Amino acid sequence: MLTINDVEKYKFGSAMFGYSRSDVDEFASLVVESLQHYVDEIEALKKRIAGAEAEIERYRASEATLRDSIVLAQKSRDEIIGNAQKEAENILAAARVKTVELTAKHAEVTAARERFEYEFYGLLKGFIQTLEANNPKLARDAAPESPPPDPEGDSGESANKAEEPSSGEVVFPEESPH
């Protein structure tokens, strides 16, 4: 391969009817200049190529890092979603268990309340029967009677007096069915 130095050092032989030395030297100068320009341009292009290749390598490294980050983010997202779904299922399962427990407890409390009410009702009825058996006047006073109509048309004062128990008397309200 021909270099600039080769062109500069190359000397044409002299001949009688040969080339003009000044023309050959001028041409050689032009060739050297052109070659130097091409060599400089090639060197600049090589530097640009090396820079571009280095930049491509940086981009490839960044691409690999980004790809790894995306894969990791997807895995994290999948794990988070999976964990959230498991936690939601656990919460729902616990809520279902708690609902069953509370329903059973409510049924127990309702049954206990009803048993208490029936037992208490029976106990009160037994006490009332015992009291009425021991004191027949209580049985008469406890019997529902409609008050007689007021012939004088009082404003209800005499009716209120009739409803008030006399001293020493015990009056029980009527029993209402449950």
Please check whether residue 171 lies inside any domain of the structure: no
| 114 within 8 A of 121, measured Cβ to Cβ | no
Residue 61 forms part of a structural domain: yes
Residue 81 buriedness (CB in 10 A; 0-12 / 13-18 / 19+): exposed
Q: Does some domain include residue 71?
A: yes
Nearest-angstrom CA–CA distance, 163 and 166? 9
State residue 159's pLDDT score.
Answer: 45
Contact in structure between 39 and 64 (CB atoms under 8 Å): no
Decide if pLDDT at 142 tops 70.
no
Q: Which of 4-18, 23-37, 69-83 has the lowest mean pLDDT?
A: 4-18
Which range of residues forms the domain containing residue 115? 19-138
Report the pLDDT averaged over residues 49-78: 93
* Among 123, 106, 136, residue whose Cα is nearest residue 175: 123
Mean pLDDT across 107-135: 93
Return the higher-pLDDT residue of 162 and 12. 12
Q: Please report the pLDDT score of residue 44 as a whole number.
A: 95
Cα(50)–Cα(55) distance, rounded to whole angstroms? 9
Mean pLDDT across the chain, nearest whole number?
Answer: 81
DSSP string, 82-126: HHHHHHHHHHHHHHHHHHHHHHHHHHHHHHHHHHHHHHHHHHHHH
In a domain, 90, yes or no: yes
Q: Please report whether residue 69 resides in a domain.
A: yes
Mean pLDDT of 41-60: 94
Q: Is residue 148 part of a domain?
A: no
Predicted pLDDT at 161: 46
Q: Which of 70-79, 121-130, 150-159 has the lowest mean pLDDT?
A: 150-159
Mean pLDDT (whole number) for 16-25: 75
DSSP type of residue 156 = S
Q: Is residue 173 part of a domain?
A: no
Both tokens of residue 39? 């060599």
Residue among 177, 178, 175 at smallest CA distance from 143? 175
- Region 113-124: mean pLDDT is 94
Q: pLDDT value at position 138?
A: 78
More confident site: 11 or 48 = 48
- Asked if residue 53 belongs to a domain, the reply is yes
Mean pLDDT for 58-83 is: 93
Taking the CB of residue 150, how many other CB atoms lie within 10 A of it?
Answer: 13
Share of the chain above pLDDT 70, in %: 75
Answer whether 135's CB lies under 8 Å from 171's CB.
Answer: no
pLDDT at position 152 is 55
How many structural domains does the chain have? 1
